[in-house]
Amino acid sequence: MNSLKGKVFLPVLLLVSFFTSTAQVNNDEALMTIAGKRIYVSEFLNIYQKNNVKGETIDKKSLDEYLDLFINFKLKVMQAEELGLDTVASFRKELNGYREQLAKPYFTDEATLNQLILEAYEREKTDLRASHVFFRLAPDATPEDTLVAYKKAMAAREKLMNGSTFEAVAVEFSEDPSAKDREATQQHPFLKGNKGDLGFFAVFDMVYAFENGAWMTGVGSVSMPVRTEYGYHLIKITARRPALGKVTVAHIFLSIPKNATAEDSARIQKRIDSVYMKLKGGVSFEDLVKTYSDDKGSAAKGGVLPAFGVNRMVPEFVEAIYSLDSLGDYTKPILTSYGWHIVKLIERKTQKPLEEEKVELKQKIMKDNRGDQTRTIVIARIKSEYGVTENPEARKAFYKVVTDSIFFGKWNALLANDLTGMIFKIGNNSYLQTDFANYLASSQRKQEKQSIETYVDKKYADFLDESLLAWENSQLEQKYPEFRALMGEYRDGILLFDLTDQKVWSKAVKDTLGLDAYYQKNKSNYKWETRLDASIYTVKDAKLVQKVKNFAKSGLSDNDLMKEINTDSLQIVTIESGKFSRKDNKLIDSIPWTPGFSNDMVDKGTTVFVYIRKVLKPQIKELNEARGLITADYQNYLEKEWIASLRAKYPVVVDAAVLAKIK
């Protein structure tokens, strides 16, 4: 039933949306009772308000129609609740999944998000090339360790300000292993250091803190120490370019062996220069790729590489592409750490208008750590709204009971059994030390040792933030009527789907005896009109038309006829056979409906004619000939029977006086 559910659930939700109130129900008169349960005027009238997009006045007829449908809807929901479908684990899981999605906008600060979208869109217009000197620091480092790392960064920056080259300082100070040459080992060959050069990158390529530091630094300048989750960075911007976007290129590649001599390198350079002259002389790029390129993977595709952004290739390769103005342009030979390349521009995708990129940018921001800004603002709003009372001494008590075992994932909350006091309050809702102890135990993991005080303080801050968000989440239905209404729609929609599936949809498909009984009782409703038992022949050789007709008239089957006329290499005749009703086929509709051959229709040497074997009189369709239509009608029948049984089971009493007031 999974595939059925996917197809049917949306209409059900629309139906629920049609009949579920979004207005608060306060001190309304009761329009009706269903099995003693009051249904208020405001809930019913919201049906019209929600769907009357033209603003027309309510008329008596439409009101009566709404009333009837509304009662049917309420009856079904009532039975679903009585059957306990709203307590089934699968129902709760599905509803919670929808709730999680519906709740997300309430935990996002839209103003901040829009600001981040605009910022990312502007940064998307520029590519940067940067170098850095890196000083490693754990995210949860102590203030003492943080100060040590910061002083190291400032000492390195002072050397730069006094005239030392950035490359020399990176090699001397940077804790990024790629900055220095790495000698060959059994695991890897000799690796030449990049001296701090990170190459080109675009927005979203780096962590947000690094990106901010880079974008605020001018070309040729060195930043103050920039703190990221990894440590401190001194950033130097070496180039700022209009964004390359996403490009597809092809290349001719001549590799330089790792142990190449100076003579080898000179020979390879002379060879790439020769290839370049051939290219300028008119030899096709693709032919030169096949003949000379050492990149066999791309050579089979004309040298074409998968599309990439600026941070996916070595800087020299990217730098050369910036010089290509038009599609089809190619570079002079360029040297990278891999060898020589001639690069041809195949495709370039640049920035789209903001409105077309908003959704994608929003998704990237929410996945990126810059999205934490909206979370921080929401938490601050919740704190301000409810008020938070903290008990610092209750938090500090954990300094004595949390041990180093927590860094191995083995701390036991029983060590905090004596701690039972209030650790903080959100509004009037108290959170105890016991709650925090359980949070510590459930969230612990193996990690490097650190100060117990620092660890406890950080985990406490996380616990407070998560508790604030959880509390706000629990208040959404109470605070936001539109959220409560949406949840009601989804809840009732899932209930109605499950119950309607049991009572109508699946039952009509599985209940073959019931379907057959319904068909036998109503078979006169399913009739074929007059039809033709006929074949349409298309013959490409005029000399064979009569032969085809003779075969057809003799009673030879269409398959055998085609075997007689067609050869392995030539399809001289094609045939469309069947039982045709009016409007099934334009050609069939255009000829007299009498047995025998129609007139020949000739067009550009091809002859088309129809052979009518028999005119079939109107007759009742077999069950298998109209199963889809009969099943649909049987479902409607089951629906009506179900509604009738519900109306008999659950008394519906409409207050005529109240209804008259509405009318």
Helix (H) or strand (E) holding 232: strand 231-242
Range list of β-strands (E), 41-140 = 126-136
The stretch 162-186 carries a mean pLDDT of 91
78 lies in some domain: no
3 lies in some domain: no
595 lies in some domain: yes
- What pLDDT shows up at residue 62? 74
- What pLDDT shows up at residue 131? 97
Inform me whether the pLDDT recorded for 271 exceeds 50. Answer: yes
What pLDDT band is residue 183 in, cutting at 50, 70 and 90? confident
578 lies in some domain: yes
Token pair, residue 382, equals 């919740």
Q: Summarize pLDDT for 388-430 with one digit per residue, the tens.
A: 999 999 999 999 999 999 999 999 999 999 999 999 999 999 9
Residues 173 and 250 in one domain: no
Inform me whether the pLDDT recorded for 1 exceeds 50. Answer: no
591 lies in some domain: yes
- What pLDDT shows up at residue 206? 96
Residues 309 and 222 in one domain: no
State the pTM of this model: 0.68
- 499 contacts 79 by C-beta, under 8 angstroms: yes
- What pLDDT shows up at residue 607? 96
What pLDDT band is residue 4 in, cutting at 50, 70 and 90? very low
Q: Measure the CA–CA gap between 507 and 440, rounded to whole angstroms.
A: 51
Inform me whether the pLDDT recorded for 7 exceeds 60. Answer: no
User: CA 408 → CA 312, 442, 493, 560, distances in Å?
Assistant: 37, 13, 47, 79
Residues 252 and 236 in one domain: no
Tokens 């940064």 belong to residue = 123
Range list of β-strands (E), 350-463 = 388-390, 422-426, 429-432
507 lies in some domain: no
Which phi and psi (to 5°) does residue 108 adopt? Answer: -125, 125
Counting the structural domains of the chain, the total is 4
Q: Measure the CA–CA gap between 293 and 270, rounded to whole angstroms.
A: 15
User: CA 154 → CA 137, 223, 610, distances in Å?
Assistant: 15, 10, 93
- What pLDDT shows up at residue 23? 34
Q: Summarize pLDDT for 199-217 with one digit per residue, the tens.
A: 999 999 999 999 999 999 9
- What pLDDT shows up at residue 49? 67
Cα 535 from chain centroid (whole Å): 49
Inform me whether the pLDDT recorded for 26 exceeds 70. Answer: no
Q: Summarize pLDDT for 566-620 with one digit per residue, the tens.
A: 977 788 999 999 999 999 999 999 999 999 999 999 988 899 999 999 999 999 9
Which phi and psi (to 5°) does residue 186 adopt? Answer: -65, -25
Token pair, residue 264, equals 């080898």
55 lies in some domain: no
Closest CA to 593 of 604, 581, 602: 581
Rounded to 10°, the helix 372-386/110-123 angle is 160
Q: Summarize pLDDT for 536-548 with one digit per residue, the tens.
A: 999 999 999 999 9
Residues 185 and 204 in one domain: yes
Closest CA to 73 of 492, 641, 481, 504: 492
38 lies in some domain: no
The stretch 343-356 carries a mean pLDDT of 95
Q: Give every CB contact of residue 184 below 8 A, 6+ residues apart in sequence.
A: 190
Q: Half-sphere exposure of residue 457, counting CA atoms within 13 Å on the CB side?
A: 11
Inform me whether the pLDDT recorded for 485 exceeds 90. Answer: no
Amino acid identity at 614 = K
What is the side-by-side strand order in the sheet with 197-201?
197-201, 126-136, 231-242, 226-227
Q: Summarize pLDDT for 300-339 with one digit per residue, the tens.
A: 899 999 999 999 999 999 999 999 989 999 999 999 989 9
User: CA 192 → CA 65, 131, 178, 201, 235, distances in Å?
Assistant: 80, 16, 8, 21, 21
Token pair, residue 6, equals 């996917």
Q: Summarize pLDDT for 62-71 with one digit per residue, the tens.
A: 778 888 888 9
- pLDDT > 70: what percent of the chain? 93
What pLDDT band is residue 15 in, cutting at 50, 70 and 90? very low
Residues 189 and 236 in one domain: yes
Q: What is the CATH number of the domain that holds 281?
A: 3.10.50.40
Inform me whether the pLDDT recorded for 130 exceeds 90. Answer: yes
Residues 553 and 606 in one domain: yes
Residues 448 and 553 in one domain: no
User: CA 16 → CA 63, 378, 451, 494, distances in Å?
Assistant: 17, 32, 55, 10
Mean pLDDT (the chain, rounded): 90
Q: Is 143 exposed, middle or buried (0-12, 13-18, 19+ CB in 10 A)?
A: exposed
Q: Which domain holds residue 569?
A: 527-620
